[in-house]
Structure 1
Amino acid sequence: MILVLSGTADGRKIIEILSNIGYSIIASTATEYGKLLVEANNNSVEIVSKRLEKPDMEKLILKKGIKYIVDATHPYAENVSINAIAASKSTGIEYLRFERKGRLYSGVQYFSSYNSAIMHLKETKGNILLTTGSNKLHIFTSSLDISRLYARVLPTYSVLKKCEDLGLLPKQIIAIQGPFTKEFNKAMYENYRIESMVTKDSGDVGGTTEKIQGALETGVNVILIQRPNIEYTNLCNSIEEVIEIVNKRYKKQ
């Protein structure tokens, strides 16, 4: 049994391929919405839809007889990866990390943390578009003039409620699911009179390039939060490499 930690389109593709070639898979997603996305193409795969801490992973590994972990979570979901690495070591099973390589963008301001980005934004003027998801919104709303903020987030009830609870007005909540074209991004920046856009390096599959190109072409300052610095024990950068490694190291059960 293989546990695939999924939080990206690439993760869902890995689940689909491994399942189709005969591996027994348990997929883990952080949310019910993530579960629905996995089920869309993999309705025969068992899915656990909740945030798993290290003890939760250890219990799941022992209960289901899991022998291999493939971590295909988002590059910024560092706690999940840290927990998975620790759980694999404590239970004596193998861990494999999939993560597409990041890119270096010219004309972009890089920051190693949310706090350092916020310190910079305090010295700027104008509207700020946050495209870093809902988990870190509170850091921005508690530190910056909230009237400057616009949040582009997933259109789910829990996320919308979080935005409202943090004090964002309906006009400041852009609830829509990407990725988007460069032209769509440009139209959004212009419509909301955005001066600065905060993003993460989620990779080309996540629409990062189109988001940044659109910003630069409309004169929007790009604030990019760098990926967490995690020492992965086994790392590969392509889906093909994941499948090749699993085929070599793990027998179908």
Structure 2
Amino acid sequence: MILVLSGTKDGRDIVYKLRDKGFNILVTTATNYGKSLYKQEEGLRIISNRLDYDGMVKLIKENSIKLAIDATHPYADKVSDNISKACKEIDISYIRYQRRESSLSKYDYMIKWAKDYEEAAEMLARLEGNILLTTGSKTLDIFTSKLSPKRLYPRVLPTSDVLEKCEDLGFKPSNIIAMQGPFTKEMNKELIRKYDIRILVTKDSGKIGGTDEKLAAAEQMGIPVIIISRPEEKQGLIFNDVDKLINKVSEIYG
């Protein structure tokens, strides 16, 4: 059986292409929302659980996993670290799917790079104006530890647990942008205009993650962008082309 860690669109593409080739697949997602995007069917089992290292080792052993494909978000570095170490410990194959980085050279003049979320928050603390956070809900506490929630406008998934987290961190409903993407350039521009945004914060989530639309909107609205750099990739087989990854899996199982 093949284990696929995936809560992304490109991860789902990998899963269904593997299914079409007749492989038995176990998919893990970090959230119930991610799980809801799949359909349980013959040869395809979906579970939702945030697994630590020990949990991954147990899952691999109990399900006789022969190959693990890490198709998590480019910034899910802890998950990638855990699964790569678990595969090495058990001595099974590990493949990483990493979506391509965005082509951002034309926006160099308006981009400030931060090595991580903490550095981004420190940079923001030295600047003025409202901030549009498009980095998800997971790291919101890092920003609220250094900045007033009054300045922050996080764009997050409209789920009850995420909204509860925002409220617990001190965000008022008027500051929470609870919306499901994808977002067009015009939608990003409208949010910047509506909330009088002076700085946009994002990750380089690639074309599929809407980075291009965010940068284009910020450019037209005349505001700077802070981008959090991607974590360093772990060693192992790394692909940024889905079809090439599928061919490699077929080769391993051939």
Q: Where on the TM-score scale, by shorter chain, does this alignment land: which range?
A: over 0.9
Structure 1, gaps ≥5 residues long: none
C-alpha deviation, 1:7, in angstroms: 1.8
- Alpha-carbon distance in structure 1 between the residues aligned to 2:86 and 2:234: 15
C-alpha deviation, 1:206, in angstroms: 1.1
User: Which residue of structure 2 aligns with residue 24 of structure 1?
Assistant: 24
* Residue among 148, 163, 166 paired with 1:163: 166
Q: The residue matched to 1:177 in structure 2 has which SS?
A: coil
- Alpha-carbon distance in structure 2 between the residues aligned to 1:232 and 1:193: 43
Q: Summarize the alignment of residues 122-201 of structure 1 with structure 2, pairs less than 5 Å apart.
A: 122-201=125-204
- Alpha-carbon distance in structure 2 between the residues aligned to 1:200 and 1:181: 16
8 A contact 2:97–2:240 mirrored in 1: yes
What does the per-residue CA deviation read over 1:40-95, in whole Å, with 9 as the maximum and x for residues that have no partner? xx644211201111111111111111000010000000111000001101111000
User: Which residue of structure 1 aligns with residue 224 of structure 2?
Assistant: 221
- Alpha-carbon distance in structure 2 between the residues aligned to 1:243 and 1:69: 13
Which shifted more, 227-236 or 191-200?
A: 227-236
- Alpha-carbon distance in structure 2 between the residues aligned to 1:158 and 1:119: 27
C-alpha deviation, 1:232, in angstroms: 2.7
Letter in 2 for 1:91: I
Q: Summarize the alignment of residues 1-253 of structure 1 with structure 2, pairs less than 5 Å apart.
A: 1-39=1-39, 43-44=41-42, 45-105=44-104, 106=107, 107-251=110-254
Structure 2, gaps ≥5 residues long: none
- Alpha-carbon distance in structure 1 between the residues aligned to 2:41 and 2:207: 27
Please report the RMSD computed on the Cα atoms of aligned residues, expressed in angstroms: 1.1
- Alpha-carbon distance in structure 2 between the residues aligned to 1:137 and 1:86: 28
8 A contact 2:81–2:234 mirrored in 1: no
- Alpha-carbon distance in structure 2 between the residues aligned to 1:25 and 1:231: 23
Letter in 2 for 1:2: I
Q: The residue matched to 2:37 in structure 1 has which SS?
A: helix
- Alpha-carbon distance in structure 2 between the residues aligned to 1:247 and 1:73: 21
C-alpha deviation, 1:6, in angstroms: 0.2
- Alpha-carbon distance in structure 1 between the residues aligned to 2:212 and 2:24: 35
C-alpha deviation, 1:104, in angstroms: 4.3
Q: The residue matched to 1:103 in structure 2 has which SS?
A: coil
Q: The residue matched to 1:38 in structure 2 has which SS?
A: coil
Structure 1 pair 188–76 and aligned structure 2 pair: CA distance change class (3 A): same
Letter in 2 for 1:206: G
- Alpha-carbon distance in structure 1 between the residues aligned to 2:193 and 2:167: 24
8 A contact 2:102–2:205 mirrored in 1: no
TM-score, normalised by the number of residues in structure 2: 0.95
What does the per-residue CA deviation read over 1:180-227, in whole Å, with 9 as the maximum and x for residues that have no partner? 111111111001100001100111011111011111110121110000
Aligned residues: 249
What does the per-residue CA deviation read over 1:133-172, in whole Å, with 9 as the maximum and x for residues that have no partner? 0010001111112211111000100000000000000000
Runs of 4 or more off by more than 6 Å in structure 1?
A: none
C-alpha deviation, 1:230, in angstroms: 2.7
